[in-house]
Chains A and B, each alone.
Chain A
């Protein structure tokens, strides 16, 4: 199939990684459409016209109350049927950084159900915002968003995936049994690791925020809703600070968006 699927890139006051996210989707073979929440308010069902949904990073509503809380509330209370329909149909949803925070505030991550919240992204252990490149490994997961990434690393003879983080509230927290459940269900998609691929073990800066079990990204039980704190869209055309790592970083970033587009095409 050669059709370019339409992807809704959600916009709202404070969302600020929209351009690069749209660019990444376009590069991966999708049509990125910027849709402001006010446009969606006029035609709520138009959400279902899209094959996929991307919620970019930023500071929606200025991080008032908690990061993602206000836009998470808007999505849950104003578009419950549309979102349920959208996600239950298996369409891919990606939330990056603030987008991930928004999805946890709706409950869609980790439970796949609106209003059923079991994890939260809270203040970094350091109490401060931090921007740096970190290393990631793919967890035991069937999540289609990361399909082929381990093979890509092997192909490049690399130990880890490099991506940039930039957040103040990226520490994933949940009850012990919740986290265990995520692990067992294959919902832990990405973990922070050391440069040699060994576990970060909670130690800074490999684990930059104190996230429980070094978790950097999770998916819904169905695997079609994916949230991550690192920014794959920044890998597409940025350089890595260690320029030698630029190529693998770009390849990994691109792969995630290509997977998303393929998920739409395969649906």
Chain B
């Protein structure tokens, strides 16, 4: 029996592995630290549980029944801990930060007490690290503990129960504020500019004739934020001409929509584009595919683990909230980061260590996606020091649903506003508005509310409830709580009818949240649905089965007004007309200025050894090297429908170009998915860089078996912060849009969804140093494949018997190539792909694959033809090799120019005979079984190396933590 006094007694339980079991956790930490240059010797780890509200007997029971498995572990209750020992570090999440492990423990504890408790049961988990000596204690502490979300425990906590000072609605005196005061109100919090603040001020002066509430200002800040209404993508473009005059152009977003509609696949395939959480296209048998990509850059810059996790969680919810509910079948992750071995002295102030960044984003995506049970089948890494402070963490999700659910739902008057899933806390307050501002060296300290940790299991059980309710047709409309939380979810859903909600009904993580905080909180794992009163009971039954908390917050009421109360207190009272239309369309200056690039040609290798070692340098480059060790941390087979893997072939080391999955296990059809982006080319020329990105995505897709006639695209922009003081960012955005539009129209593949993230500028407040990332455009492609037996993989199937051909029309150019990056070359001459020739190649290659005429296919991208050819050997049987016969006029170019849109295909000699006269096909060599990589240039053997040696060169990641366990 627990007594009230026990509430204050916190018991600590320490669980450790028995000596014979080993301590893999400690080993992994030691390796990760070593990667960063911190050599601690071995570190021993232990699990720590702080428990509140339980008697000593109950704690013992819990420890014996749950916390400790006596086969492999020992436990100690209230161990004597010397918190002051510099060799002892105990790390935990800060109070209030989601600790996903604690809730299941509390549930079991509650059962052990038989509900016989007077106080609240609470649990906090921590990890204990015991160093062999304390010399490096403080260095290790700062490497292990991310102060954004974690803390070092230095004493037994007094209480684990969080109570905040309750607050109510504040009125903000704004009507009489001068410009300076308006900007003071906005700065660091609302991220609205002076014009926008004045418009709001006028509205309160003239229409409302009162001052706004704090929550109303937050509502404007969120609804009018870059994140929610894409002011830059929707802005009228004022393009500065060479003579200084201004040409007025439609917004980038309107251009994309227009070109999408003009593209050949649009009418045939597209069910929903641009007005829902994701775009939707047709598959087969009445099934539809929802697709979406989104970045989570700013939070990931601060806490890469939490940022990547919540990015994944958010993109999955986008899919659940598409149409009337979809089921996720593919997860993707695309990262642009600083090279892990970047000189630490050059890492910008306030940015995370690059190794930490890499390991933590991978862990975040893995921990979330794996728990959800969605195969993570496609992704890539792109490295550049400029991503150190502002990484690009792009996650994609693809889902299926019946075609009949593809259209976004609309609530009817009288429908209930139902919130369900996780509880609301202080997490992520100001996330939406935060992504409107640039990150500074100070951001790490003052804005930590922008960081959240995801709880995948809350989302996983919620997704099961959604699937079941969607199948029963219980939703009139459904959407996720993303940026700005309830505010944007409920606000947007109510815009056709008007809505009234009472925030006092929302389940919260702890007491004392202010109404405006509940309104804009970005606590994860929450959804909002419009459900008719006759369906609510059925929905609640489903939620009960899956342990999903749900509550009716209010109803859609026909008022055309957004009314939010906390009990009887008015929190927000705004008319939709102003909220939706009050913000005037922005006008933005745009002017792309190419930076001058000197032509520097590296020296041509003089002998075999020079050629071979240069090739090895390319293969070991961060962008090119094998990512197998990372990919294996993601489950790419869950769901039981995976057809081709990120790495395939005999020993599963052959990189494939796309991912193919059979989402409905009893069907023959599947989904092919791929992507492309190239920050190096975009840096030189955003137009041709984007053409290349789009072309690479399509080439990957075709190489895996896809048909461009069934494809659609998701387009994501990630750029520095635009502004009229720097028209070059919008200039680049316009170039990227032009390229995407040209590709859509030429190839017939529409972009049907996407997102812009325009805040990747870093400013060092102390030195004034500004770092802008290269402008990035990423295209993700997906479409149906009629029969998954028609897929293609990259590993050579019959080495020694077959012919290698080049398919496509190479457009050479060494600017932005890996070859120039490793040799210090530079050029503005980059590959300029002709979209119409590309289309012919893609259709030809697809027809051959579908016909079974190609044995292996790999598209040419980073590292050029040579890299594509050698990668085809990696997954093949032992002894596989290639012999390339090139004309040798410019061998560097032939081997290493990144002629995206071209393919290396393995065909039978008979097939080669058939194809060799055909436009766009050329024999370039043969496969061998001597395990060699040979290049003959104009008949003479110029390069000879071994496949094994070259494969070793690709294993850059396998130092430190990436070591094979053996």
Contact = CB atoms under 8 A, between A and B. Distances in A.
Interface of A: 11, 13-14, 16-17, 19-20, 23-24, 36, 38-39, 57-59, 61-66, 69-70, 73-74, 77-78, 105, 117-120, 122-133, 164, 166, 171, 173-174, 203-205, 210, 231, 233-234, 236-239, 241-243
A204 B964 contact: yes
Interface residues of B, number: 69
A248 to B, nearest CB: 14
> Chain A at the B interface: mostly helix, strand, loop or mixed?
mixed
B104 A62 contact: yes
B637 A243 contact: no
B643 A239 contact: yes
Contacts of A166: 370, 635, 637-638
A125 B23 CA distance: 8
9 closest cross-chain pairs (CB), A and B: A16-B373, A20-B640, A127-B28, A126-B965, A127-B24, A204-B966, A241-B648, A62-B457, A61-B104
A11 B460 CA distance: 12
A73 B650 CA distance: 41
Contacts of A39: 545
A205 B964 contact: yes
Nearest to B641: A237
A132 B632 CA distance: 7
B80 to A, nearest CB: 23
Contacts of B637: 131, 164, 166, 231, 234, 238
Interface stretch (B67-75, B206-214, B479-487, B606-614): B67-75
Contacts of B72: 120, 122, 173
B17 interface: yes
B66 interface: yes
Nearest to A62: B457
Contact of A16 (B24, B372, B788, B965): B372
A123 B24 contact: yes
Contacts of B31: 127
28 contacts: A16-B372, A20-B638, A20-B640, A20-B641, A23-B665, A38-B546, A57-B638, A61-B104, A62-B455, A64-B102, A65-B66, A65-B101, A73-B66, A73-B108, A77-B111, A117-B71, A120-B69, A127-B25, A127-B31, A132-B652, A166-B637, A171-B24, A204-B965, A231-B637, A234-B637, A238-B642, A241-B649, A242-B652
B66 A70 contact: yes
A236 B640 contact: yes
Nearest to B640: A20
Contact of A210 (B547, B638, B965): B965
A125 B27 CA distance: 9
Contacts of A119: 71
A131 B632 contact: yes
B70 A117 contact: yes
B79 to A, nearest CB: 18
A39 B547 CA distance: 11
B645 interface: yes
B697 to A, nearest CB: 23
Given A127-B25, A203-B966, A234-B638, 6 more contacts: A61-B104, A126-B964, A131-B634, A131-B636, A131-B637, A242-B652
Interface string B615-649: 00000000000000000111111111111110111
Given A19-B640, A234-B640, A242 B666 contact: no
B938 to A, nearest CB: 37
| Residue of B66, B105, B640, B662 contacting most chain A CB atoms (<10 Å) | B640
A254 B103 CA distance: 37
Contacts of B791: 239
A164 B71 CA distance: 27
Contacts of B456: 14, 59, 62
With most chain A CB atoms within 10 A of its CB, the pick from B67, B71, B102, B650 is B71
Contacts of B965: 124-126, 204, 210
A17 B639 CA distance: 6
B104 A128 contact: no
Nearest to B663: A19
Taking each of B108, B666, B964, which has the highest tally of chain A beta carbons within 10 Å of its own beta carbon? B108
Nearest to B25: A127
A62 B370 CA distance: 10
Interface string B529-548: 00000000000000011110
Nearest to B99: A64
Contact of B71 (A120, A210, A234, A241): A120
B538 to A, nearest CB: 16
B57 interface: no
A13 B460 contact: yes
Contact of B28 (A14, A126, A234): A126
Interface string B87-131: 000000000000011111101100100000000000000000000
Contacts of B662: 237-238
Contacts of B461: 13-14
A139 to B, nearest CB: 21
Nearest to A16: B373
Contacts of A36: 545-546
A185 B456 CA distance: 40
Interface string B649-661: 1101000000000
B889 interface: no
Contact of B24 (A118, A124, A234): A124
Nearest to B635: A166
Residue of B24, B101, B666 with highest tally of chain A CB at under 10 A: B24
B378 to A, nearest CB: 14
B22 interface: yes
A171 B65 CA distance: 21
Contacts of A237: 640-641, 662, 665
A120 B964 CA distance: 24
Contacts of B966: 203-205
Contacts of B545: 36, 38-39
A74 B635 CA distance: 26
A164 B640 CA distance: 10
Given A20-B665, A38-B547, A128-B28, A62 B100 contact: yes
A59 B640 CA distance: 16
B793 interface: yes
A77 B111 CA distance: 9
Contacts of A203: 966
B555 to A, nearest CB: 29
B21 interface: yes
Interface in B658-688: 662, 665-666
B370 A69 contact: no
B325 interface: no
B633 A62 contact: no
A124 B31 CA distance: 15
B640 A242 contact: no
A13 B634 contact: no
Interface in B860-918: 875
A91 B966 CA distance: 39
Contacts of B641: 20, 237-238
Contacts of A73: 65-66, 108
B371 interface: yes
Contacts of A238: 637, 640-643, 662
Contacts of B314: none
B366 interface: yes
Contacts of B964: 126, 204-205
Given A14-B371, A117-B69, A127 B27 contact: yes
B65 A122 contact: no
A24 B634 CA distance: 23
Contacts of A127: 24-25, 27-28, 31
A126 B66 contact: no
B66 A125 contact: no
B793 A20 contact: no
Contacts of A105: 69
A129 B370 contact: yes
Contact of A130 (B70, B104, B633, B793): B633
A130 B788 CA distance: 26
Interface in B281-296: none
